[in-house]
Chain A
């Protein structure tokens, strides 16, 4: 079920109303049934895969807690193999097999292993990672194994964050399923405010930019120069609004019922360096990789060269997490390399900053933001491109003749989309700028009632007047 569908509006109203009507002891059951329904609205059969990993991890958690020494480790490894195994079969099998075929072809052999004709279950990487964080935390002794099977299943399946995160840790969310959440005016209204903000990002900005991006990226060889630059910048905004919009709706929907999910984005395009960008972008995944991969590899408490290698490995795996395609691996690799350059030039940049007189510091700060944004845009090319060849074509044709294709890209039909998207982006970044270090909800709540209500009213009107409601606009991160 898509958040930006009428189906979800009905679902949300019914589930939330029932949640507050029924007794506390039945609420987890309601949420579990609702989450199953939410997931099965995509493709019912894939709930079996989810069920398989839930059963394995539930028992693994208990056995890890009850055993000691090597046995304890063995149960953890079993759980990890089950989760990564599911990922490998459904997400990476065909990719690995295709690459094996290419390799064998080069060596003069024929690969006779057939590909699997299966669809990737929605949100597989998200709930698999959430499930793995549970068994790892139980193994580390940071979380008690959950004895109630239903509550554990709900931890993996909680519908707001089931298909695209935030990827929660058991310490943050599991105990909340036991807490009694009374109807709270503040929670409900704050949740709805965040959801509205998320819908604004998704329906008005992301979906409006999607057509413009698709036009260039579905057949990039038709274009050169300016349209490729413009569509890449549009994609940077599209993916931000799509994914952070999803996160806002998810966090808001949970907040309405009294649950607190972790913040997933913190104004990433205001980052002044690549390292800072990754502290602000998809925070739940970045911290997952930090805690469960980067630090176990040695993190930053090792020699510099080893630290760089750890970073590169983490980002390459992060790329692969996103999708079984070389484009994602290149995307991860580029981000890893940028991080290494960022860390290795930190001292030099610090010196430059200290030399600059205070009057020029704001300009220097803007320059850093701009450079970071442009570097991130170059990585987005490979994230969005359908193939490495397309990605390379786009990057290598950024600065070429613009005659002809610019006029085609900036057609009258596109101009209206561009105009509306620019108005909405202006509102988005205006609000983000004024927010400073506060969350969106805190920022809005501190305004006077007249300004607040005016803002809500304007925001909802803009969603209806400038939003894109035609077509079935999926969230980009659902495919992961």
Chain B
């Protein structure tokens, strides 16, 4: 048994040392300084430097790809910051990050996608690598810690496979693809990618609703307001998932502690107006949605 234990301990130690070495040696070489998620650095800087009252957009990529914050700012005469980036970062991160910069009289416009789900650990490791400040907004459960560290390790491998990345990436997912307000614009002059409508998974939204309501309470406590907006959604996908979307809307109307200022079909547009996902509007779609959004905001809540 002694022989086995000695060999097992030595082997495990060798594996642990090798894995740590990979992270320590490879990580700096593949640092995600200009990655999509690194845009959070610029967004956070803007969030904390803008005077109040300001409009803060919070959500997933439906907002990152699909609004013109500059036009909204000019029309409504409010400074705007678009904090949205990717639904896969998880609701908890999005809300914590935004809450940190909310000040008195600010208006928070929250628009999540319909697939509120657990955060993607791989994305979180990329985020933490690119923006160390993000750590304070991320709370991992104990059972997520080991998968998280393994994800971080694997990030080093995937980032190293540059050839594949270059060949298949359409390189719109970059930090400098954003405007100063935080809108992604690198996709605006690109051709649409063929899309097929995905079916929505059945998700229990109880925890998500609780998170959002806690966020709403905290925002109110700071003297600011929150409004919820249903996201933009490709027509064919909307039709395919109509029941699931209606159930989602009913649940949110019943349980959300803030006003909902549109309906699920408000921002549903023809498939030709979507770039590479059922949530990602192209140039034309983005402009149409922005005009509609300005109309809703100026009618309902924001007139200076």
Does any Cβ of A come within 8 Å of B64's Cβ?
A: no
CB contact under 8 A between A456 and B11, given known A223-B196, A470-B121, A470-B122 = yes
CB distance from A217 to the nearest CB of B (A): 12
Q: Could you say which residues of chain A place their CB within 8 Å of the CB of B195?
A: 408
Q: Could you say which residues of chain A place their CB within 8 Å of the CB of B154?
A: 464-466
Q: Could you say which residues of chain A place their CB within 8 Å of the CB of B198?
A: 219, 222
CB contact under 8 A between A464 and B153, given known A222-B196, A408-B194, A415-B164 = yes
Does any Cβ of A come within 8 Å of B299's Cβ?
A: no
Main secondary structure of the interface of B (DSSP, over half): helix
Does any Cβ of A come within 8 Å of B199's Cβ?
A: yes
CB distance from B190 to the nearest CB of A (A): 14
Across the interface, A470 reaches (CB within 8 A) one of B4, B18, B147, B161, namely B147
Interface residue stretch chosen among A39-47, A181-189, A276-284:
A181-189
Q: Is the beta-carbon distance between B15 and A460 smaller than 8 angstroms?
A: yes
Does any Cβ of B come within 8 Å of A450's Cβ?
A: no
CB distance from B126 to the nearest CB of A (A): 13
Which of A405, A415, A467 counts the most chain B CB atoms within 10 A?
A415
Q: How many residues of B contact A (CB 8 A)?
A: 34
Q: Is the beta-carbon distance between A464 and B14 smaller than 8 angstroms?
A: no
A407-424 interface bits toward B, Cβ cutoff 8 Å, 1 = contact, 0 = none: 110111001100100000
A95 to B3 CA separation, bound complex (whole angstroms): 55
Q: Could you say which residues of chain A place their CB within 8 Å of the CB of B153?
A: 464-465
Does any Cβ of B come within 8 Å of A426's Cβ?
A: no
CB distance from A23 to the nearest CB of B (A): 16
A456 to B8 CA separation, bound complex (whole angstroms): 12
Does any Cβ of A come within 8 Å of B301's Cβ?
A: no
CB distance from B241 to the nearest CB of A (A): 11
Q: Is the beta-carbon distance between A412 and B168 smaller than 8 angstroms?
A: yes
Across the interface, A6 reaches (CB within 8 A) one of B19, B143, B197, namely B143
Does any Cβ of B come within 8 Å of A304's Cβ?
A: no
B118-129 interface bits toward A, Cβ cutoff 8 Å, 1 = contact, 0 = none: 001110000000
Q: Is the beta-carbon distance between B193 and A407 smaller than 8 angstroms?
A: yes
Across the interface, B4 reaches (CB within 8 A) one of A185, A407, A415, A467, namely A185
B1-37 interface bits toward A, Cβ cutoff 8 Å, 1 = contact, 0 = none: 1011000000100110011001000000000000000
B151-165 interface bits toward A, Cβ cutoff 8 Å, 1 = contact, 0 = none: 101100110010011
Q: Could you say which residues of chain A place their CB within 8 Å of the CB of B121?
A: 470
Q: Is the beta-carbon distance between B15 and A461 smaller than 8 angstroms?
A: yes
A464 to B16 CA separation, bound complex (whole angstroms): 10
Q: Could you say which residues of chain B place their CB within 8 Å of the CB of A69?
A: none
Across the interface, A183 reaches (CB within 8 A) one of B1, B120, B122, namely B1
CB distance from B274 to the nearest CB of A (A): 13
Does any Cβ of A come within 8 Å of B150's Cβ?
A: yes
Q: Which residues of chain A from 186 to 219 have a CB within 8 Å of any chain B CB?
A: 188-189, 218-219
Q: Is the beta-carbon distance between A408 and B161 smaller than 8 angstroms?
A: no
Q: Is the beta-carbon distance between A461 and B18 smaller than 8 angstroms?
A: yes
Q: Could you say which residues of chain B place their CB within 8 Å of the CB of A52?
A: none
Q: Is the beta-carbon distance between B11 and A188 smaller than 8 angstroms?
A: no
Q: Is the beta-carbon distance between A469 and B158 smaller than 8 angstroms?
A: no
CB contact under 8 A between A412 and B194, given known A183-B1, A464-B150 = no
Q: Could you say which residues of chain B place their CB within 8 Å of the CB of A469?
A: 146-147, 150-151
Q: Which residues of chain A from 381 to 414 have a CB within 8 Å of any chain B CB?
A: 404-405, 407-408, 410-412
Q: Could you say which residues of chain B place their CB within 8 Å of the CB of A415?
A: 164, 168
15 contacts between A and B (CB under 8 A): A183-B1, A188-B4, A222-B198, A404-B196, A407-B193, A412-B168, A412-B169, A412-B170, A419-B161, A457-B15, A457-B18, A461-B15, A465-B22, A465-B154, A466-B154
